[in-house]
Amino acid sequence: MVLALGTVSVAPVASAQSRHELAKARAAYRQGVSLEAAGDWAGALAKFEQVAQVKRTPQVQFHIARCKENLGRLKEALGDYRMAEYEAQQKKAKELHQITKARKALEERIPKLVITLGEGAESATVELDGVQLGEAKLGNEVAVDPGAHQIVATLPGDKHFEKDVTVKEGDTQKVELVPPPELLETSEETPPPSELPPDETPKQKPPEKHSSAVPWIIGGLGVASLAASGVFYGLRAGAKSDLEKGCRGNVCPASLKSTGDKGKLYTTLSEVTLGVGAAGVVVAVIMLATGGSSSPKADEKKDSASRRGVRVDLVQTSSLTGVNVVGRF
């Protein structure tokens, strides 16, 4: 019943907003047509896109495509024409013939690039105006807008070269990407690391030794934290005793409110310091038990030793405070 009443109460507001938005959209559409007639294609495009946010029809989509075409954004315009044509076919709009005619005329104007990989660039990746081209587009026609375009080819080893091309409306231009000689020579003279002679293989640095004082420091901090936990526990016991003396059952006078708050604080601090102290002692014992090996077989167990470690996580909820200790030995 609540959901039904909520739907009934909201529906009139949503309907009123819809009527208001439709009225604004109609006004924006008329303004867009006027700007089109005046040759202000950018202003008209802004108005038609505003209309499309409220209601996108084949007519609105057609005007958006027409504005983009006159602004030189031919690729985008072609996509909009195709969308308008499809929607007009579905709705059997009277503008279908006009949209189809405009789409065919634009397809003849759009220039195309055919990009191929020449000798030495067979394994290169290619970007056209910052967008990577897949293998399916290499060697095939790629529609572009008229004007200047930049092609970037990247060779293995992060070596790249660029090529700038300029195309005109209706042109189909073929571009073969061939690396400059200096890139190929550098690739041949510098062998990959795996092919270096044995005497030129970089020497590995000896593993760094961890200071043996670390576990003792951690253990000392753990012991200090345990001692602090005892102090807080004693303060908690004192606050609890004061509450038991001054309260009757669950009813306590206002003067003991601060004592109750301190008791809660001491409880939390005692639990946290207890958990941290216990974790510190455990970690110190584990580090002393697993570190500082001088066995001749220590180097042979380097991989397994590198996987050893300890992780300590503090866990605190409304009803529990503790420490998780996870170790690998």
For residue 59, the model assigns a pLDDT of 94
Place of tokens 């073969």: 176
CB 172 within 8 A of CB 111: yes
In the sheet with 147-155, reading across from the earlier edge strand, the strands are: 131-133, 125-128, 147-155, 159-167
Local confidence pLDDT in tens for the 329 residues of the chain = 333 334 333 334 344 448 888 889 999 999 999 999 999 999 999 999 999 999 899 999 999 999 999 999 999 999 999 999 999 999 999 989 999 999 999 999 888 899 998 888 888 889 998 898 888 888 888 889 888 999 998 988 888 888 899 999 888 989 998 888 888 775 444 555 555 555 555 566 655 554 567 777 877 887 887 788 888 778 878 877 777 777 766 677 777 778 778 878 878 887 888 878 788 778 777 877 776 444 444 445 545 445 555 555 555 554 555 556 555 55
User: What is residue 7's predicted lDDT score, i.e. its pLDDT?
Assistant: 38
Q: What pLDDT does residue 237 have?
A: 83
Same fold, 12-108 and 112-184: no
Tokens standing for 266? 């001491």
CA 66/CA 105 separation, integer angstroms = 12
What kind and span of H or E run contains 249? none
Q: State which H helix or E strand residue 312 sits in.
A: strand 309-316
User: Where do the domains of the chain lie?
Assistant: 12-108, 112-184, 213-328
Return the half-sphere exposure (C-beta side, CA atoms, 13 A cut-off) of residue 211. Answer: 5
Task: Say whether pTM exceeds 0.75.
Answer: no
Beta strands 321-328 and 309-316, pairing class: antiparallel
Q: Is the dihedral of CA 126, 130, 132, 133 positive or negative?
A: negative
> In 3-state terms, what secondary structure has residue 320?
coil
Q: Beta strand pairing status for 159-167 and 147-155?
A: antiparallel
Count of beta carbons in the 10 Å neighbourhood of residue 196: 11
12-108, CATH topology level: 1.25.40
Token readout for 47 is 């108005």
- Please classify residue 239 by burial: count the beta carbons closer than 10 Å to its beta carbon, then call 0-12 exposed, 13-18 middle and 19+ buried: buried
By the 8 A CB rule, do 120 and 150 touch? no
Domain 112-184 = CATH 2.60.40: yes
What pLDDT shows up at residue 197? 56
Q: What is the DSSP string of 117-149?
A: E-TT-TT-EEEETTEEEPTTTTTSEEE--SEEE
3-state SS, residue 291: coil
pLDDT at 5: 36
CA distance 107 to 100: 11
DSSP 254: G
